[in-house]
Amino acid sequence: METVIIKHPFNKRDFPEMVIALGFFDGVHKGHQEVILTARKEAEKRQLKCGVMTFFPHPKEVLRKVEEVQYLTSLEKKEELIASLGVDYLFIVEFTKTFAELNPQQFVDGYLIDFNVKHVVAGFDYSYGRLGKGTMETLPFHSRNKLSYTVVDKVEDNGRKISSTNIRLALDEGDIQLVNDYLGRTYETEGTVIQGEQRGRTIGYPTANIKSTGRTHLPTTGVYAVELKIKGQWRHGVCNVGYKPTFHDKKQLGLSVEVHVFDFSGNIYGEDVVIRWHGNIRSEKKFQSVEELIEQINNDVIVARKILKKQEKSTSVYNNT
């Protein structure tokens, strides 16, 4: 797959005729996979190349609908996932205020027709152009019938749309099961191991304190069964996301993410790591004594091992790397 970064206005380049899937695609969840795989099928049918057009940063952020978007996938991860779906071209269009001002006609002319797009695929709720005024139904009009299109029906779960927004809400509720169901793979976040307070080892549970890379959407505070990829190897563990209320009255130190890796010792400060989130165990609590906390962690480890053993039997194709 070739990735092409587009800054508006861009220097026109010749591309082969193609079918294109349109959307932001944060998380590359099951709904997105359906859209992209439909584009691939349409491309094969027409013997054309298959492209995906996405944007960066998130339009909601540029249009100030939200202060900051916490992403489900970094740009690199999104690229990797889209490539694994057999796409030929990924266009990452820099989303700026000027780009957002393009009306539907200008978007269709400048970003679809000029890219040699012949057929467009998007979901049932996709819109484009200034104020989202262009829809799939207006595409023949705006393209003077040069473009045909396929609309993908809503991919849903119990009547609820599988969407990036609903996955973020599930993370905010610590519902990892739902997150992973919607993604069709296990949720991952990237980070670096940093220095903690060095207390972990004194209570018998040394932890790797992890600072997330970029603007990652973390699960809410609580204890989780996880895998941690260290130096290329996946290891089982248990993770606490929180403020350690047993030791700190207020949220003094900010949010910490720490993983106790089972049967592991070694200095990993400064290492880049990946956390794979497998299941929620409980909420974070303030304990009256360190002994009570240790007793609870002993139990967390047992529960985490059970969850991880169970998931090993049902590993998704995405989880092989």
Ligand X SMILES: Nc1ncnc2c1ncn2[C@@H]1O[C@H](COP(=O)(O)OP(=O)(O)OP(=O)(O)O)[C@@H](O)[C@H]1O
Q: Is 15 in the site for ligand X (CB under 6 A)?
A: no
- Given a contact cutoff of 8 angstroms between Cβ atoms, the answer to whether 155 and 17 are in contact is no
Instruction: Give the DSSP per-residue string, 221-274.
Output: SEEEEEEEEETTEEEEEEEEEE--TTT-SSSTT--EEEEEETT-----TT-EEE
Q: Is 120 in the site for ligand X (CB under 6 A)?
A: no
Q: Is 207 in the site for ligand FMN (CB under 6 A)?
A: yes
Q: Is 164 in the site for ligand X (CB under 6 A)?
A: yes
Q: What's the rounded Cα separation, in Å, for the pair 66 and 275?
A: 26
Nearer to ligand FMN, 110 or 245 (CB): 245
> Binding-site residue total for ligand X (CB under 6 A)?
22
Site map for ligand FMN, 222-261, x if CB under 6 A?
A: -x--------------x-x---xxxx----------x-x-
Q: Each residue of 171-198: b (16+ CB within 10 Å) or e?
A: beebbbebbbebbbbbbbbbbbbeebee
Supply the minimum distance, in Å, between the C-beta of residue 59 and ligand X. 9
Give, to the nearest 10 degrees, the angle between helix 176-183 and helix 164-172. 160
Q: Is 259 in the site for ligand X (CB under 6 A)?
A: no
Q: How big is the CA angle at 162 (ends 156 and 167), to the nearest 5 degrees?
A: 150
Paired residues of 238 in beta bridges: 225, 260
φ, ψ (nearest 5 deg) of residue 68: -145, 135
99 binds, among ligand FMN, ligand X, none (CB under 5 to 8 A by kind): none
Please select the residue that binds ligand X; options are 165, 198, 202, 316, rule is CB under 6 A. 165
Q: Is 132 in the site for ligand X (CB under 6 A)?
A: no
Q: Is 198 in the site for ligand FMN (CB under 6 A)?
A: yes
Supply the minimum distance, in Å, between the C-beta of residue 68 and ligand X. 14
- Residues in touch with ligand X (CB under 6 A): 22-26, 31-32, 34-35, 122-126, 152, 154-155, 161-165
* Site of interaction with ligand FMN (CB under 6 A): 196-200, 205, 207, 209, 223, 238, 240, 244-247, 258, 260, 284-285, 293, 297, 300
